[in-house]
């Protein structure tokens, strides 16, 4: 017979430490194995904090993230952002690159993705990395910007994403996810 009660946390755990296991359950430690859940490795603490605050205030959609951050103080969010920033960037996945990588590269250059996201897509202080992010999450994020479900801090991405067709979004997501 199974006698499993509620998970017992070490009594002294508070704030971010008390929820860190949940973060790991969805996001992994740097590399996400969950559909539509972003890998967090390589993200700067400042960008992470901006997003956590946006979830908490309801400015960014995401049921799980909104519910979790609603219970967190500013200091908890800072601790969470510092944890995110400590995670190593995701490795190159096994998935094959797009059949036409040069078309994808041309498209990225035409839309100047790398002027903001960094020459090698490793992101920056206020900018998320795109390199080796999950393909399904990249596609979802671009679609969320193009439909204005997600606006972002300065709405730059809405304009960028609305200029892309669905096929172009697919191509860019595969290209960025599999950058060697
Ligand atoms: C139930 C699953 C789940 C849990 C638990 C969870 N997340 Fe998330 N997280 C998500 C999803 C899904 C998104 C993407 C939301 C969207 O854009 O639709 C996300 C997005 C994020 C982002 C934004 C990443 C980016 O690239 O913009 C950060 C930062 C983040 N989570 C950190 C955390 C931290 C820290 C914890 C623990 C306190 C946590 N998450 C717990 C599912 C989860
Ligand atoms: C003018 C600067 C700029 C350009 C050009 C730009 N981006 Fe962005 N991008 C941003 C900013 C800023 C964010 C963060 C928005 C926010 O606050 O949520 C972002 C977010 C994203 C995200 C969400 C990542 C995540 O972790 O949630 C994706 C995907 C993305 N950009 C892809 C692209 C692609 C593909 C291109 C080229 C077609 C591009 N971007 C061009 C500034 C830019």
Determine the distance separating the centroid of ligand 2 and the alpha carbon of 76, expressed in angstroms.
Answer: 26
Domain 15-85 class? mainly alpha
State mean pLDDT over 137-150.
Answer: 97
Q: Is domain 101-177 annotated with CATH 1.10.760.10?
A: yes
Residue matched to tokens 């998970």: 7
Q: What is the DSSP string of 132-146?
A: T--HHHHHHHHHHHH
What residue numbers does the annotated binding site for heme c cover?
Answer: 23, 26-27, 65, 113, 116-117, 157
Instruction: Write down the number of H helices and E strands in the chain.
Output: 9, 0
pLDDT digits (tens, 9 = 90+) for 15-42: 899 999 999 999 999 999 999 999 999 9
Give the confidence band of 122 by pLDDT, cuts at 50, 70, 90.
very high
Task: Supply the angle between the helices 135-146 and 166-177 in degrees, to the nearest 10.
Answer: 140
Task: Say if pTM beats, i.e. exceeds, 0.85.
Answer: yes
Nearest-CA residue for ligand 1 atom 1 is 64
CATH 1.10.760.10 domain extents, the chain:
15-85, 101-177
Query: Is the pLDDT reported for residue 2 higher than 70?
Result: no
**CA dist., res. 174 & res. 180, Å (int):** 12
Cβ-contact 180, 97 below 8 angstroms: yes
Determine the distance separating the centroid of ligand 1 and the alpha carbon of 48, expressed in angstroms.
Answer: 10
Give the confidence band of 95 by pLDDT, cuts at 50, 70, 90.
confident
State the pLDDT at residue 154. Answer: 73
Nearest-CA residue for ligand 1 atom 10 is 37
The pair of three-digit structure tokens given for residue 124, joined into one six-digit string? 């920056």
Selection from 42, 143, 146 nearest residue 91 by Cα: 42
């Amino acid at each position: 017979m199974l006698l499993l009660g509620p998970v017992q946390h070490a009594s002294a755990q508070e704030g971010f430490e008390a929820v860190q296991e949940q973060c790991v359950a969805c996001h992994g430690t740097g590399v996400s194995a969950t559909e539509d859940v972003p890998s967090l490795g390589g993200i700067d603490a400042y960008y992470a904090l901006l997003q956590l605050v946006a979830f908490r205030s309801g400015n960014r959609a995401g049921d799980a993230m909104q519910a979790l951050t609603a219970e967190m103080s500013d200091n908890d969010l800072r601790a969470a952002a510092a944890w995110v920033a400590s995670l190593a960037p995701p490795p190159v996945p096994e998935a094959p690159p797009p059949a036409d990588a040069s078309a994808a590269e041309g498209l990225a250059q035409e839309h100047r993705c790398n002027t903001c996201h960094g020459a090698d897509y490793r992101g920056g202080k206020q900018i998320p990395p795109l390199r080796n992010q999950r393909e399904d999450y990249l596609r979802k994020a671009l679609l969320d910007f193009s439909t204005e479900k997600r606006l972002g801090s300065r709405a730059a991405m809405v304009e960028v994403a609305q200029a892309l067709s669905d096929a172009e979004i697919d191509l860019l997501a595969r290209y960025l996810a599999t950058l060697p």
